[in-house]
Amino acid sequence: METLLDTQRRLKSLLLMYLLVVNAAGDCPKPEGGNNTVLTNESLLKNVFPENIMVTLECSSGYIKESGSEFITCINDQWTESELICKKKDCGQPPPKPHMKFDTSEGTLFGALVKVTCEKGYQISGPSYKECYDQGWSGRASCEIVACDKPAIANGNTSWDSGDDPEYNNTIRYTCHEGYTLIGSDTVVCDETGEYSPDQPVCNEVTRAPATTSRSQVAITDLTTTDAKVSTFSDSSAAPTVHRTQTVTTSSIPNLSTLPKGMHDGNVNTATDSGTVAAVVIGAVVLLGVIIGFFLLHKFNMRRKGSHGISPL
Ligand SMILES: *[C@@H]1O[C@H](CO)[C@@H](O)[C@H](O)[C@H]1NC(C)=O
Ligand SMILES: *[C@@H]1O[C@H](CO)[C@@H](O)[C@H](O)[C@H]1NC(C)=O
Ligand SMILES: *[C@@H]1O[C@H](CO)[C@@H](O)[C@H](O)[C@H]1NC(C)=O
Ligand SMILES: *[C@@H]1O[C@H](CO)[C@@H](O)[C@H](O)[C@H]1NC(C)=O
Ligand SMILES: *[C@@H]1O[C@H](CO)[C@@H](O)[C@H](O)[C@H]1NC(C)=O
């Protein structure tokens, strides 16, 4: 009986000692952070939280204090309610960069993503998104102007004489060397995709009937060449006769419908042309007649010689 009472007494005293030790160690449990709040590093290092002790809370990373006290106190084994209210930090508009645009439809608060784009003719270099972090916007993008490959044309020249590549909006002009004709546009622009618009032209060797020009155009050229050359050259009175074999480039072909305007001299020329033809034909006929006449006369004379001996001449 005695031993049982002893044991009970000993257990009681052990319990009392335990309670005393625990009480001495601290009244409150280790505190925890709340919504968007954390314990300060200093508070985290503490292990014992006796009655009336105060610990400090702070806003989590990416948050800033909106209102309330940072302190909670241990009273009657319990922490007082935290009053600290934190809100997301606002990164604001991303810092402007040349030719750069931002889509901030998602906002500019902590964690928000902003899409980065460049103006027309510029391309992004670097990440195309920025994120609002505790330290500010992430990403170091820039907008570089779009460039085209250096222009090139075989058997011709371009107006581009810079060592750098042409950039967006730069205009290039092309010319062909002597004996070549330009097919395509003689002026192109470096567009926003880094291509030439329209495509770069080519220089084709001039032939009597270039495959790339329409046949009707060629027909007109051939028909008008002689008259046109005669009329234009006769003004300078240098060469009234022009060979049709002379090389004629498309650009020097006179507009058919504009021809009559400059023909006050040309009309005379065409008239003399047809006159000459007629004269030649008539001359040929006359000459033929004369030759036949002489031939007949000669024959007649021979016959006379044969029948009457030597003529009085
Ligand atoms: C945290 O916020 C949620 C809703 O925003 C709320 O229901 C909860 O009670 C808050 N907790 C604390 C500890 O404040
Ligand atoms: C708290 O400690 C963590 C890691 O131990 C450190 O990254 C952080 O910067 C500290 N905070 C402050 C406010 O000193
Ligand atoms: C084309 O370029 C060549 C060599 O660069 C030059 O000699 C020539 O004069 C140029 N021709 C034209 C029409 O620009
Ligand atoms: C490119 O040309 C267009 C049209 O001429 C003009 O509106 C634009 O400002 C130019 N852009 C640049 C970067 O030169
Ligand atoms: C030719 O001239 C007429 C009137 O002078 C003009 O309407 C037409 O566009 C011209 N054609 C060409 C191909 O130059």
Band (305; pLDDT cuts 50, 70, 90): low
When mean pLDDT is compared across 46-50, 97-101, 276-280, the lowest value belongs to 276-280
pLDDT at 267: 44
Ligand 5 atom 10 nearest Cα: 255
Residue 308 in any domain: the answer is no
Can you tell me the distance from the alpha carbon of 295 to that of 88, in angstroms, rounded to the nearest whole number?
Answer: 125
Q: Which atom of ligand 5 is nearest to the CA of 255?
A: 1
**Residues 193 and 166 occupy one common structural domain:** yes
**Measured CA distances, 237 to 146, 231, 248, 252, 307 (Å):** 55, 10, 20, 19, 61
Q: Which of 88, 113, 133 is the last residue of a domain?
A: 88
- 45 in a structural domain: yes
CA of 296 to the centre of ligand 1 (A): 138
Q: Atom 1 in ligand 4: which residue has the minimum CA distance?
A: 169
**245 pLDDT above the threshold of 60:** no
Closest C-alpha to 131, from 80, 77, 89, 72: 89
- Structural domain including 139 reads 100-145
Strand partners, 79: 74
Both tokens assigned to 311? 């003529």
**Nearest Cα to Cα of residue 126 among 144, 136, 140, 115:** 140
Q: Is residue 312 part of a domain?
A: no
Among residues 109, 103, 43, which one has the least CA distance to residue 70?
43
Residue 291 identity: I
Are residues 20 and 82 located together in one domain of the fold? Answer: yes
The answer to the question of residue 286 being in a domain is: no
User: Ligand 3: does its nearest atom lie under 6 Å from the Cβ of 117?
Assistant: no
Do 8 and 52 share a domain, yes or no?
yes
- CATH number of the domain residue 109 falls in: 2.10.70.10
Q: Closest residue (by CA) to atom 11 of ligand 5?
A: 255
Give the pLDDT score at 222. 46
Reported as a single tens digit per residue, the pLDDT across 49-84 is 999 999 999 999 999 999 999 999 999 999 999 999
Give the rounded distance of the alpha carbon of 35 from its chain centre.
50
The residue whose C-alpha atom lies closest to atom 3 belonging to ligand 1 is: 35
Q: Who's near 152: CB < 8 A, 6+ residues apart?
A: 158, 200
The set of residues, in sequence order, having a beta carbon less than 8 Å from that of 155 and lying 6+ positions away, is: 176, 177, 180, 203, 205
Q: For atom 9 of ligand 4, which residue has the closest CA? A: 169
CB 257 near ligand 5, within 6 Å = yes
> 258 in ligand 5 pocket by Cβ < 6 Å?
yes
Tokens standing for residue 153: 């044309």
Question: Residue 32: nearest ligand to its CA?
Answer: 1
Residue 265 has pLDDT above 50, yes or no: no
Q: What is the pLDDT of residues 180-231, one digit of tens each?
A: 999 999 999 999 999 999 999 999 998 765 455 444 444 444 444 444 443 3
Q: Is 220 exposed, middle or buried (0-12, 13-18, 19+ CB in 10 A)?
A: middle
Q: Averaged over 138-159, what is the pLDDT? A: 96
56/7 same-domain check: yes
Mean pLDDT of 173-179: 96
Q: Which residue's C-alpha comes closest to atom 11 of ligand 4?
A: 169
- Distances 18 to 14, 23, 202, 302, 304 between C-alpha atoms, Å: 6, 8, 100, 174, 178
Q: How far is CA 198 from the centre of its chain?
A: 12
Pocket flag, ligand 3, residue 157 (CB < 6 Å): yes
Last residue of a domain, one of 164, 184, 205: 205
- Which residue has better confidence, 257 or 71? 71
Give the distance (Å) from ligand 2 centre to CA of residue 42: 9
Q: Which ligand is nearest to the CA of 31?
A: 1
Q: Are residues 195 and 165 in the same domain?
A: yes
Q: Which amino acid is at 53?
A: I
**Dist. CA 101 → ligand 4 center (Å):** 17
Distance from the alpha carbon of residue 41 to the mean position of ligand 2, in angstroms: 6
Smallest CA separation from ligand 3 atom 14, residue: 157
Shared domain check, 60 and 7 = yes
Q: 103: pLDDT confidence band, cut at 50, 70 and 90? A: very high
Residue 229: per-residue pLDDT: 41
Give the three-state DSSP class for 188. strand
Q: Which atom of ligand 4 is nearest to the CA of 122?
A: 13
Number of domains in the chain: 4
Q: How far is residue 283 from each of residues 151, 193, 299, measured CA to CA in Å?
A: 62, 72, 24
Ligand 1 neighbours (beta carbon < 6 A): 34-35
d(CA 261, ligand 5 centre) in Å:
13
Give nearest CA residue, ligand 1 atom 4.
Answer: 35
